[in-house]
Chains A and B, each alone.
Chain A
Amino acid sequence: MMGQMFGLGYNVILVATGAGLLGLAAGGIGAFLFLRKRSLVSDAISHATLPGVALAFLVMVALGGDGRNLIGLMGGAALSSLAGLVIVHWLDRRTRLGEDAAIGAVLSVFFGFGIVLLTVIQTIGAGRQAGLESFLLGSTAGMLRSDAIIIAVGGALALAACALLRRPMTLVSFDPEYAATQGMRPARIDMAMMALALAVTVVGLKVVGLILIVALLILSPVAARFWTERSEVVALLAGLIGGVSGAAGAVISSLAPDLPTGPIIVLVAAAIFAVSLVLAPQRGVLAGVIAQFQFRRRVHRRQGLLAVAQGQPIYEPYTQRLLRQEGLIRRDGVATSDGQAAAERAALDERRWHMLRGLPEAAPMAARYDGLTPIETVLTADQIADLDRRLTAEGAA
């Protein structure tokens, strides 16, 4: 059996699969929320599930049931978070409050009301509520197999819906006006996006818990954003990161008793985020530092060469070291023949740029002057030859 292959129980495999699918869907949806700059709406959605969970429990008990039926609890959660979502939308549109205040108001009030209901449950049916608290921080310990299957199926469905809607969601999050001209209704797509976020939240309640489920919707896309500039790729990568975090987190947390599932999943995602923040090739911190050093190097090299060309001495130690290392100047500061040649080229480049910037018709190209870019990368050989003719003419005059 595959379960035994890794020394993991069948239930752990099932939960990890569910958490992985959930993470995939959450990352994908989260990416679109992030691109629409509405990540924190999911925080309101998730906190707003609590009164629904508690009310669903109360209703199921009142009808003579067990009260812990996961589908019933998820249904309640979906309804109350939908109410929360509607209120956020209404406060944002119909009153002067901004979306951030609306989010904060809904999440604190719904959560507070949910806590009131939890204490009501404690009051009327002592003992039987055991387990509702696990919705706060999630728990997979002792999860029923049927619950694990529900979560896996729910995650898969959310993922499928996300895949189906990815084209319109990409368009709307990239350019809502353009999407409108393509016959889409951005408001509707936004609503669908929110509905999917809501679905992911509700499915994830049991595993990750309502306080931390937003992490999957936020951390994975933010991490993914570091690696690419294209929104469809962000969604794909975010899904992958979320999936890996979900599955790995569920497995890690099954290894020891006091490794709570939700926080572990979030911390795996946070680790991936931290790695992305530091190591991503374009937007990462390391890339930024390297680029800055390279820039500094180029500036110093160029200025040094221009000084050589004008026969001025170089005093600045970093520039001296740089030119010496490249064999452009000798230890005593006198330029080598290579150095002389490079200095000539730099000076010529500078003269050509100067000429170009004096020509009104060349303004768009001249705007790319930064004192570093070789003019060959901006102009064609013909254009440079033309510049050189002007330079000669100017020199003659």
Chain B
Amino acid sequence: MKFSLSWLRRYLDTDASVDAICDALNAIGLEVEGVEDPAAKLSGFRVAKVLTAARHPDADKLQVLTVDTGQGEPLQVVCGAPNARAGLVGVLGLPGAVVPANGMQLKKSAIRGVESNGMMCSTRELELGEDHDGIIELPADAPIGTPFADYRGVDPVIEVAITPNRPDCMGVYGIARDLAAKKLGELKPVAEAHLETPFACPVEIRTDDPQGCPAFYGRVIRGVRNGPSPQWLQDLLQSAGQRPISALVDATNYIMLSYGRPAHAYDLAKLTGAVVARRAVDGEQVTALNGKTYALDSEMTVIADQAGVHDIAGIMGGEHSGCEDTTTDVLLEIAYFDPARIARTGRKLNLTSDARGRFERGIDPGFLDKGLELLTALILELCGGEPSEVVRAGAAPTTPKTVHFDPALTEKLGGVTVSPQRQQAILESLGFGVVAEEAGFDKAWIVTVPGWRPDIDGAPDLVEEVVRIHGLDEVKSVPLPREDGVARPTATSAQRLERRVRRAAAARGLQEAVTWSFLPTPEAAHFADGPVWTLANPISEDMKAMRPSLLPGLLSAARRNLDRGAGSLRLFELGRRYLRGDAGASDERLTLGLVLAGEKAPRGWSSGKAVPFDAFDAKAEAMALLADAGAPTDKLQVMGDAGPQFHPGQSGTLRLGPKTVLARFGMLHPATAKLFDIDGPVALAEVFLDAIPARKAASGFARVAYAPPALQAVSRDFAFLVPATLPAGDLVRVVQGADKANIVAARLFDDFRGAGVPEGQKSLAVEVTLQPGDKSYGEADLKAIADKVTAAAAKLGATLRG
């Protein structure tokens, strides 16, 4: 909402400075977004009189003027304007002034050899209008030497952000009222107009949609002369960012901007029959004043006559019946529309307008007659004519709201002490009525809410009114009561897990990225295991589907980095993947994704060629992070089915039992790499943190008792011939389990195929660590254990290699 200082002063008797007004606006919740002071733009320009004008000796179109600036000797100025002549009073820009239209700084110069000490300006150069045919001509009695800004009375413009609860401040009068309550001046009463209405309204007005349009008032004015509105009105509208159109339209806009009361003027000649507020018929169309055609439906209220729709009620008038310069008779419409319906219609049509903004927030239902009176009076002033009586269909919901209010609530909720007398004064200055209930003045009030404040419906709203006018600065900081003792941990186990794993990943050399939660649909589909969440109104096709995995976002980030020439990438992200849950709910699961791309190690003086990442790098990260996440890594099995996004022969899952997948890892499938436009091998892993079983809650901090064994552990190596297809992990697992009392670890250290190993077989060597209890092993003990190991391995078809 923009308005000029002089507009505000029409309703607020004040001599406060612009700065003081702005501070007050901010303090009472009308946030100042900007102040434009045209006086600043016009500094250096002053009223000046041309004394003489003579032809430039070397240029046909130029004249050499002597100009009286009101101070000192007249200045010589070269000027090209055809209307420059002796005796003309105009506007001179002195050296140093900056021309508003082009930002050029004026300076003393020689034009074709003749000295020029400034510039006589056109309207356009000063951004005061479009005229550029000649220089500005002021009345002959304009005071020579006065700064032009003072002479013209230019008006600072204030722009405020109006929160959606304050439709009353979408009119300058409402802002004036708030400022008056803040003691920035005296609110002037709304003007009274005494209208002669010598004839009945000749048009039938009806509302056939009392829900959508409870009240529809109208009046005809005959014999108006439309045309450009006077300068004062044009200036005001321009200050508010509105384009002046014609006196009739400008008058409705002026009433809307002044009082927040939209109205509409129809050219009566273009209407036929009764003018009715009704629901649109499905499929009905109207071309609005913005030139666009809208298809309407039966949920929308319109104003129509016999011929068709003329107005999308409360939102925008129709092009067909708008006022033009030739208009002589007008029908004024002032109505009350249901805010919710206006909002729905506007949203459905995707049509915003000043009127909609006010109607959907709620205009004052008690201001129909007054608004119509003010509008009529203004049109009569601007365009002449003769008004009819008002015709009224329906009635606006004017029963005032009342709120029970205990003034003590201001301190209880607002934390500031304000005397009941002061509270009453504040509320009354905002238009509220305050009556004490039986309990007494200090205890219980019935507060009547003015019609322009639809936002007030409870006692806390009144506290806000009191506090914002009294001043939020008066609220003093009060410490929150603190519980005794040391602060307890406040994070949940999921949050602790998240923090721990994140820092573990970073400590392992991975860099945390944060990528979009949404993906292009094909990328999401490629990683999806079921239907994905897809937005109805995405910002772009690239941000349409919610990620079912953290890998696609990381792959895209990896591609961008590789495209920028990054040599080695270790990216991870910890966040949610979005699945569909029961009953249409969202199922969001904490997940860690990681992508290893480019070189694991660059070529080196000792290591030789660069080493690419492989599937074991991904496995190592997954295992380490699972360990840090508290998963029982010793119980994990490596199985298949990492997903079709992975290389089928170089990927796996880490499972706890056959069903619970804690992680997947491996090399990227070439087809996936192609989809993401990535060259070169990429290793990746996804750790499903949500699947890690919760640890049993520990009862305290003490660990299970432990003393390192007195006897040293013994290690024995076993080499087995096994079928080439046997997973090494299976062998290790059975070896480890062969004698649980003695075997504490089994580590595979060799996988050999070739010379000495039969075709179709491989040799796997396992180092087994044995921990004696209270007695050292004898030969017989070791043999017995070895036999158990061999026997267990034999079940997998493994034979001890000779």
Query: Does A pair with B?
Result: no
